[in-house]
């Protein structure tokens, strides 16, 4: 983006703000359409026929009115003949102007009835031709009922009295506040952000910081540029922030900026204690997965009035510096994991969301071990095990929207986190650390030897992960993926004794053979039972103490957990 274009966009949004009047609040707040509140829907033929090259967003945030005035310039290149452009934008935001390549589009040539903005092109585009869509819009965006789970804008007040504002739109999508292709496959090549706010506040955001422009009238524009951002990860953060910064010398030879924007009212010792965790987490992830994907931009964290969200290079943190005996801040670590599992690796469809949440959640037990040892890893795994629902499969094998995955009454819900983590643990125990690390690295980067600057974000599916595991190990682990991911019920192990012989047999929800080997401890001595064809046996003298799976490597149905869950359910009645 040229300086001239930056200043032009800034001037445009300021001019729009000066001439626009924010409408008075209606008696009953309007709600976004059902279409807007859904995300991860199939791309239209028009969206499939164009490449999203760049978004240039100039957004003026009006804290007193809880409103925004904005101008978005979206650059596309046709990959097939194209007659119209289609993007998404919430109908709560009134569009005042639509232009194609700088020429105003007549009102009867564009429409946005349910939140899908359709613009007729003045002339068809051939493959390879480019076009710039400019949209000027303003209004009161959706207020988050319960961020980050039910998202939108959060209009809050900092302890020191100033406005404290954030966006969190994973479940609803980017169209809540900017015109976009509301799909994981709608990532633009670059997003430039020009956020104009009261000069007493700060606006940390995605990507590299390009400086501020003080307009001399009480308003300042903060400029940022981010490469290949996940669409819902574009975030506005406005507040009375102070910044802590440092540098991390990566094991891969590059230097990574670290930045934390915290409220000026925070206790300095708490701020420094949290910031001291940044390099430790970077070291862990780079050692166990690979290079920080956005090292040429920053590891950025901002304190928010909601719990948290994995906004690319500006992770939202709202855990309040809690100490819980883990030895690290779980929220910071979980959201940071999504820089790899979510932002670098993006799911092909919401049905593959466990690749984000399950692999991301498994990084916490692994990090606990990295810091404090096996006892702390096992504690986290045990806590995850107690919460499994097992009502729906983690992966259905059919395309899903995010709501159909995250809402536990129609999909796996929280099982994509904890069950995904425990499945990952069983896989690591089965194939070994070296193979698991190689498979994870190849999944995330597309190569076994990623180097900073030599890879780009990838789309991945559960099928891709299985194929990679098979390639790395030289074996077919389809039975493992089907037994755990595509069945709601956990595998059940049956034990029978016949004299001095212990017989073991697996049963899965779909009746398929499950040859998961088992460690069996007999009077303190551990042996591995192969479980070929899902069955196995081992000598166990009468009176011997037998312990199945002493290190808890294998995720399976357990009576003790079922009894605990039934007890807790009864106590709630």
Question: 548: domain CATH number?
Answer: 2.60.40
| Statement: residue 501 has pLDDT above 90 | yes
Q: Does a cis peptide bond (omega within 30 degrees of 0) precede residue 148?
A: yes
Residue 100 domain flag = yes
Residue 425 lies in a domain: yes
Which of 466, 485, 504 lies at the terminal end of a domain, its last residue?
A: 485
**First-to-last C-alpha distance (Å) of the chain:** 60
- Work out the number of other CB atoms within 10 angstroms of the CB of residue 492: 14
Quick check: is 160 in a domain?
yes
User: In percent, how much of the chain has pLDDT > 70?
Assistant: 95
Q: Sign of the C-alpha dihedral, residues 230, 234, 240, 242?
A: positive
Q: What is the enclosing helix (H) or strand (E) of 168?
A: strand 163-168
Same domain, residue pair 521 and 547: yes
| Residue 208, in any domain of the structure | yes
* Tokens of residue 193, six digits: 């952000």
Residue 56 belongs to domain with CATH number = 2.60.40.1730
Please choose, from the candidates 207, 196, 198, the residue with its C-alpha nearest in 3D space to the C-alpha of residue 234: 207
Which positions make up the binding site? Answer: 334, 338, 357
pLDDT at 191 over 70: yes
Tokens of 465: 């992960």
Q: Is residue 28 part of a domain?
A: no
**Closest CA relative to residue 385, chosen from 393, 377, 397, 395:** 377
Gyration radius of the chain over CA positions: 26
**Spatial separation of the C-alpha atoms in residues 110 and 324, rounded to whole Å:** 53
Distance (Å, rounded) from C-alpha 3 to C-alpha 484?
Answer: 53
Asked if the structure places residue 303 within a domain, the reply is yes
φ, ψ (nearest 5 deg) of residue 501? -115, 130
CATH number at residue 286: 1.10.390.10
Report the pLDDT value the prediction gives residue 559, as an integer from 0 to 100.
96
- State mean pLDDT over 361-366: 98
Regarding whether 258 and 229 lie in a shared domain, the answer is no
What CA–CA distance (Å, rounded) separates 106 from 121? 11
Tokens 């009134």 locate to 94
Residues in the chain: 573
Q: What is the pTM of this model?
A: 0.93
Q: How far is the C-alpha of 92 from the C-alpha of 89, rounded, in Å?
A: 9
Question: Contact at 8 Å (CB) between 61 and 196?
Answer: yes
**DSSP notation for 493-505:** EEEEEETTEEEEE
Contact between residue 151 and residue 170 where contact means Cβ atoms under 8 Å apart:
yes
Q: Are residues 330 and 355 in the same domain?
A: yes
Domain span at 544: 492-554
Instruction: Say yes or no: 120 and 169 in one domain.
Output: yes
> Please, which pLDDT band fits residue 28 given cuts at 50, 70 and 90?
low
Binning pLDDT at 50, 70 and 90, where does residue 573 land? confident
What sign for the dihedral angle of Cα 304, 307, 310, 315? positive
Q: Pick from 223, 189, 213, 12: which is nearest to 99 by CA? A: 12
Give the phi and the psi of residue 420 in degrees, each rounded to 5.
-60, -40
* Residue 40 confidence (pLDDT): 86
Residue 479 near residue 510, CB atoms below 8 Å:
no
Pair 538, 549: CB distance under 8 Å:
no
pLDDT in tens, 546-565: 999 999 999 999 999 999 99
**Which of these three, 239, 266, 289, is where a domain ends?**
239
- Measuring CA to CA, how many Å separate 248 from each of 253, 279, 470? 10, 6, 35
pLDDT tens-digit map of 95-114: 999 999 999 999 999 999 99
Give yes or no for residue 26 having a pLDDT over 90.
no
Q: Which residues sit in the known binding site for Zn(2+)?
A: 334, 338, 357
Do 170 and 315 belong together in one domain? Answer: no
Distance CA 356, CA 353 (A): 5
Question: Is residue 561 one of the residues assigned to a domain?
Answer: no
Instruction: State how many domains the chain has.
Output: 3
CA distance 317 to 442: 29
426 and 513 in a single domain? The answer is: no
Rounded distance between C-alpha atoms, residue 573 and residue 569, angstroms:
7
Question: Of 450, 485, 520, which marks where a domain is finished?
Answer: 485
475/473 Cα distance (integer angstroms): 5
Reported in sequence order, the residue ranges of 36-125 that DSSP labels E, i.e. its strands, are 50-62, 67-78, 82-88, 93-100, 103-104, 110-111, 116-125
| E strand segments, 250-352 | 255-263, 299-303, 308-309, 315-317, 345-347
Q: Do residue 77 and residue 225 come from a single domain? A: yes
Alpha-carbon gap, residue 485 to 479, rounded angstroms? 10
**Average pLDDT of span 502-521:** 96
Same domain, 164 and 76: yes
216 & 279 share domain: no
DSSP labels, 375-413: HHHHHHHHHHHHT---SS-S--SS---HHHHH-TTTS-T
Residues 315 and 359 placed together within one structural domain of the fold: yes
Res 527: pLDDT: 97
Domain annotation covers residue 110: yes
Give mean pLDDT, residues 156-185: 97
Is the C-alpha dihedral spanning 77, 80, 84, 85 positive or negative? negative
190 and 269 belong to one structural domain: no
Do 148 and 87 lie in one domain? The reply is: yes
């Amino acid at each position: 983006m040229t300086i001239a274009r930056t200043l032009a966009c800034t001037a445009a949004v300021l001019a729009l703000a000066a001439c626009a009047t924010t409408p008075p609040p209606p008696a009953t707040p309007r709600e976004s359409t059902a279409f807007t509140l859904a995300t991860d829907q199939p791309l239209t033929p028009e969206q499939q026929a164009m490449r999203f090259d760049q978004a240039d967003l100039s957004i003026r945030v009006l804290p007193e009115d809880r409103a925004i005035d904005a101008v978005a310039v979206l650059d596309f290149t046709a990959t097939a003949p194209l007659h119209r452009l289609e993007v998404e934008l919430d109908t709560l935001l009134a569009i005042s102007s639509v232009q194609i390549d700088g020429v105003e589009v007549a009102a009867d040539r564009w429409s946005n009835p349910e939140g899908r903005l359709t613009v007729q092109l003045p002339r068809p585009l051939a493959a390879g031709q480019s076009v710039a869509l400019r949209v000027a819009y303003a209004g009161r965006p959706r207020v988050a009922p319960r961020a980050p789970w039910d998202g939108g804008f959060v209009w809050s007040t900092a302890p020191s009295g100033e406005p404290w504002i954030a966006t969190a739109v994973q479940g609803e999508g980017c169209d809540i506040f900017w015109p976009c292709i509301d799909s994981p496959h709608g990532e633009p090549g670059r997003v430039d952000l020009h956020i104009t706010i009261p000069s007493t506040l700060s606006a940390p955001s995605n990507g590299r910081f390009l400086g501020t422009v003080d307009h001399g009238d009480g308003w300042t524009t903060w400029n940022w540029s981010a490469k290949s951002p996940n669409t819902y990860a574009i975030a506005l953060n406005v507040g009375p922030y102070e910044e802590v910064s440092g540098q991390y010398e990566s094991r891969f030879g590059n230097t990574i900026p670290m930045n934390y924007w915290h409220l000026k009212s925070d206790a300095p010792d708490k701020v420094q204690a949290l910031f001291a965790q940044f390099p430790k987490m970077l070291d862990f992830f780079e050692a166990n997965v690979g290079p920080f994907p956005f090292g040429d931009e920053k590891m950025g964290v901002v304190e928010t009035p909601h719990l948290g969200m994995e906004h690319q290079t500006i992770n939202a943190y709202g855990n309040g510096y809690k100490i819980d005996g883990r030895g690290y801040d779980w929220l910071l670590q979980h959201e940071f994991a999504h820089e790899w599992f979510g932002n670098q690796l993006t799911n092909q469809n919401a049905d593959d969301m466990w690749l984000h949440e399950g692999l991301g959640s498994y990084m916490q037990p692994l990090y606990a071990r990295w810091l404090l040892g096996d006892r702390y890893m096992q504690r986290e795994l045990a806590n995850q095990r107690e919460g499994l629902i097992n009502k729906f499969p983690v992966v259905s094998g059919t395309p899903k929207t995010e709501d159909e995955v995250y809402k536990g009454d129609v999909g796996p819900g929280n099982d994509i986190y904890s069950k995904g983590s425990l499945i990952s643990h069983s896989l690591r125990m089965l194939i070994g650390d070296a193979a698991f690390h190689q498979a994870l690295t190849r999944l995330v980067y597309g190569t076994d030897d990623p180097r900073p600057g030599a890879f780009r974000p990838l789309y991945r599916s559960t099928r891709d992960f299985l194929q990679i595991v098979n390639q790395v190990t030289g074996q077919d682990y389809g039975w493992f993926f089907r037994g755990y991911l595509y069945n709601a019920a956990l595998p059940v192990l049956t034990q029978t004794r016949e004299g001095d012989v212990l017989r073991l047999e697996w049963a899965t929800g779909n009746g398929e053979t499950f040859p998961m080997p088992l460690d069996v401890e007999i009077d303190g001595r551990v042996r591995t039972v192969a479980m070929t064809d899902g069955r196995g046996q081992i000598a166990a003298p009468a009176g011997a103490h037998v312990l199945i799976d002493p290190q808890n490597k294998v995720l399976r149905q357990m009576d003790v957990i079922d009894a605990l869950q039934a007890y807790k359910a009864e106590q709630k009645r």
